[in-house]
Protein backbone atom coordinates (compact mmCIF):
# COMPACT_ATOMS: atom_id res chain seq x y z
CA UNK A 1 0.00 0.00 0.00
CA UNK A 2 1.34 3.38 -0.95
CA UNK A 3 1.33 6.06 1.74
CA UNK A 4 1.82 9.08 -0.54
CA UNK A 5 -0.18 10.61 -3.37
CA UNK A 6 -2.00 13.77 -4.50
CA UNK A 7 -5.34 14.70 -2.88
CA UNK A 8 -4.51 12.76 0.27
CA UNK A 9 -4.41 13.61 3.97
CA UNK A 10 -2.59 12.22 7.00
CA UNK A 11 -4.53 9.38 8.60
CA UNK A 12 -4.40 10.81 12.12
CA UNK A 13 -5.52 14.21 10.88
CA UNK A 14 -8.47 12.75 8.96
CA UNK A 15 -9.60 10.67 11.97
CA UNK A 16 -9.48 13.82 14.10
CA UNK A 17 -11.32 15.97 11.53
CA UNK A 18 -14.03 13.32 11.14
CA UNK A 19 -14.46 13.49 14.94
CA UNK A 20 -13.69 9.85 15.68
CA UNK A 21 -11.11 10.97 18.26
CA UNK A 22 -11.20 14.02 20.51
CA UNK A 23 -7.57 15.00 19.88
CA UNK A 24 -5.16 14.40 17.05
CA UNK A 25 -2.64 12.86 19.45
CA UNK A 26 -5.24 10.25 20.52
CA UNK A 27 -5.78 9.39 16.85
CA UNK A 28 -2.02 9.15 16.30
CA UNK A 29 -1.64 6.91 19.34
CA UNK A 30 -4.37 4.57 18.03
CA UNK A 31 -2.65 4.35 14.65
CA UNK A 32 0.84 3.89 16.16
CA UNK A 33 -0.48 1.06 18.29
CA UNK A 34 -1.45 -0.83 15.14
CA UNK A 35 -5.17 -0.61 15.87
CA UNK A 36 -6.16 0.89 12.50
CA UNK A 37 -6.44 -0.88 9.15
CA UNK A 38 -6.54 0.90 5.81
CA UNK A 39 -8.07 -1.21 3.03
CA UNK A 40 -7.48 -4.31 5.17
CA UNK A 41 -3.77 -3.65 5.80
CA UNK A 42 -2.56 -2.75 9.29
CA UNK A 43 -1.00 0.72 9.46
CA UNK A 44 1.37 1.88 12.19
CA UNK A 45 2.38 5.30 10.85
CA UNK A 46 0.06 8.22 11.64
CA UNK A 47 1.48 10.09 8.62
CA UNK A 48 0.16 7.45 6.19
CA UNK A 49 -1.85 9.28 3.53
CA UNK A 50 -5.50 8.35 2.94
CA UNK A 51 -7.93 9.57 0.34
CA UNK A 52 -11.50 9.22 -0.87
CA UNK A 53 -12.54 5.60 -1.33
CA UNK A 54 -10.21 4.13 1.32
CA UNK A 55 -11.86 1.86 3.89
CA UNK A 56 -10.76 2.26 7.53
CA UNK A 57 -11.32 -0.31 10.26
CA UNK A 58 -10.63 0.61 13.89
CA UNK A 59 -11.94 0.17 17.41
CA UNK A 60 -13.81 3.03 19.01
CA UNK A 61 -15.13 2.67 22.55
CA UNK A 62 -16.61 -0.85 22.69
CA UNK A 63 -17.36 -1.32 19.01
CA UNK A 64 -15.45 -1.86 15.78
CA UNK A 65 -16.01 0.90 13.24
CA UNK A 66 -15.75 0.34 9.49
CA UNK A 67 -15.94 3.54 7.44
CA UNK A 68 -15.31 4.47 3.82
CA UNK A 69 -13.75 7.90 3.31
CA UNK A 70 -16.10 9.98 1.16
CA UNK A 71 -14.21 13.28 1.26
CA UNK A 72 -11.19 14.96 2.78
CA UNK A 73 -11.89 17.69 5.27
CA UNK A 74 -10.47 21.18 5.23
CA UNK A 75 -11.02 21.81 8.95
CA UNK A 76 -12.44 20.18 12.06
CA UNK A 77 -15.93 21.57 11.87
CA UNK A 78 -19.20 20.70 13.58
CA UNK A 79 -20.40 17.09 13.83
CA UNK A 80 -22.88 17.57 10.98
CA UNK A 81 -20.01 18.60 8.70
CA UNK A 82 -17.81 15.73 9.93
CA UNK A 83 -20.49 13.15 9.10
CA UNK A 84 -20.30 14.11 5.43
CA UNK A 85 -16.66 12.97 5.32
CA UNK A 86 -17.44 9.24 5.57
CA UNK A 87 -19.93 6.44 4.95
CA UNK A 88 -20.49 4.17 7.92
CA UNK A 89 -20.17 0.51 6.88
CA UNK A 90 -20.20 -0.87 10.43
CA UNK A 91 -22.60 -3.73 11.04
CA UNK A 92 -25.55 -2.71 13.22
CA UNK A 93 -25.13 -3.44 16.89
CA UNK A 94 -27.28 -6.32 18.18
CA UNK A 95 -30.03 -5.19 20.51
CA UNK A 96 -29.24 -6.26 24.04
CA UNK A 97 -31.99 -6.87 26.58
CA UNK A 98 -32.31 -4.40 29.42
CA UNK A 99 -30.04 -5.25 32.34
CA UNK A 100 -31.70 -7.22 35.11
CA UNK A 101 -31.39 -5.71 38.56
CA UNK A 102 -30.01 -8.07 41.13
CA UNK A 103 -30.52 -7.13 44.74
CA UNK A 104 -30.81 -3.61 46.02
CA UNK A 105 -33.95 -1.65 46.65
CA UNK A 106 -36.89 -2.36 44.32
CA UNK A 107 -38.30 0.44 42.21
CA UNK A 108 -41.68 1.97 42.94
CA UNK A 109 -43.22 0.00 40.07
CA UNK A 110 -41.74 -3.24 41.39
CA UNK A 111 -42.98 -2.50 44.93
CA UNK A 112 -46.52 -1.96 43.62
CA UNK A 113 -46.34 -5.24 41.72
CA UNK A 114 -45.20 -7.03 44.91
CA UNK A 115 -48.00 -5.41 46.93
CA UNK A 116 -50.54 -6.51 44.30
CA UNK A 117 -49.28 -10.09 44.56
CA UNK A 118 -49.48 -10.05 48.36
CA UNK A 119 -53.07 -8.69 48.37
CA UNK A 120 -54.34 -11.61 46.28
Pair 65, 90: CB distance under 8 Å: yes
CATH number of residue 33's parent domain: 3.10.290.10
Q: Is residue 47 part of a domain?
A: yes
* pLDDT higher than threshold 90 for residue 86: yes
- Other Cβ atoms less than 10 A from the Cβ of 96: the count is 6
What is the 3 state secondary structure string of the chain?
Answer: CCCCCCCCEEHHHHHHHCCCCCCHHHHHHHHHCCCEEECCEEECCCCCEECCCCEEEEEECCEEEEEEECCCCCCCCCHHHHHHHEEECCCCCCCCCCCCCCCCCCCHHHHHHHHHHHHC
* pLDDT of amino acid 101: 66
Q: Look at residue 18 in the predicted model and tell me its pLDDT.
A: 96
Mean pLDDT within 14-23: 96
The per-residue pLDDT for range 19-55, each reduced to its tens digit, is: 999 999 999 999 999 999 999 999 999 999 999 999 9
- Give the residue numbers spanning the domain of 35: 9-92
Report which of 29, 63, 60, 58 is spatially closest to residue 46, judged by C-alpha positions. 29
Q: In this predicted structure, what is the pLDDT of residue 2? A: 54
Residue 52 in any domain: the answer is yes
Amino acid sequence: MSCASAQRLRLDKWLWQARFFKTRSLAARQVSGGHVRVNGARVTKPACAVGAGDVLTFAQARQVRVVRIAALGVRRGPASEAQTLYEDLSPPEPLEPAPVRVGGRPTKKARRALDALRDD
